[in-house]
Amino acid sequence: MTSVGPTPYYLSPQRTDLDFLDAPEIPTVVRKFVDYPLSEMATAMDGTVSVLFALLETEGIHPTGPPFSLYEHMSGETATFEIGVPVDRRLDGPVTAAPGVVIEGSVLPGGTLATISHIGSYDRLGDAWGAFMEAVTQAGKTAELPFWEIYLTEPGPGVDPETMRTDLVTRIAR
């Protein structure tokens, strides 16, 4: 098991193998979605990130890492999740950042975590999650909610989807 040092785990080098670590809770600023269609995830992400970073600048809050999505519940078609970024301090209270867009403070959970890096297209994240959860089970551990993805490569027109890095993280039951 790795202990988290001065560099937060979400800024660590690529993890090609399953890693278990102890990590503190990390303050975040997020937009929450309840029973949101998974087919609209890209729209949720795009509509959140631009508003979120503009709000952080206005509030004098600084991001300390890349965007993430944290899943609290997932059924076949919908999920309850947060899209956000880790920050240097929490937002004091909910803020309406744009019509229909409420941004609020939250946390990335601390405790014992399992993590691995996925290199490749978002289209293959489902398979990566399956392999990751299987590896956690084979290591004799039990994953628990929530679980999250950390997007270390910003997608864009000049980015090869096969080089994008997404770290997969889940809490481990005690």
Domain 27-172 of CATH type 3.30.200.20: no
Let me know: does 164 contact 155? Beta carbons within 8 Å.
yes
- Window from 58-67, 74-83, 138-147, 153-162 with minimum mean pLDDT: 153-162
Going by pLDDT thresholds of 50, 70 and 90, the confidence category of residue 1 is low
Residue 84 has pLDDT above 90, yes or no: yes
Residue 173 has pLDDT above 90, yes or no: yes
Tens of pLDDT, residues 122-165: 999 999 999 999 999 999 999 999 999 999 998 878 889 899 99
d(CA 86, CA 68): 8
pTM over 0.85: yes
Query: What are the φ/ψ torsions at residue 142 (nearest 5 degrees)?
Result: -120, 120
d(CA 106, CA 164): 26
Query: What are the φ/ψ torsions at residue 43 (nearest 5 degrees)?
Result: -65, -45
Domain residues of the chain, as ranges? 27-172
Q: Which residues pair with 26 in a beta bridge?
A: 108
Going by pLDDT thresholds of 50, 70 and 90, the confidence category of residue 3 is very low
**Strand 19-23 vs strand 2-3: parallel, antiparallel, or unpaired?**
parallel
Let me know: does 117 contact 166? Beta carbons within 8 Å.
yes
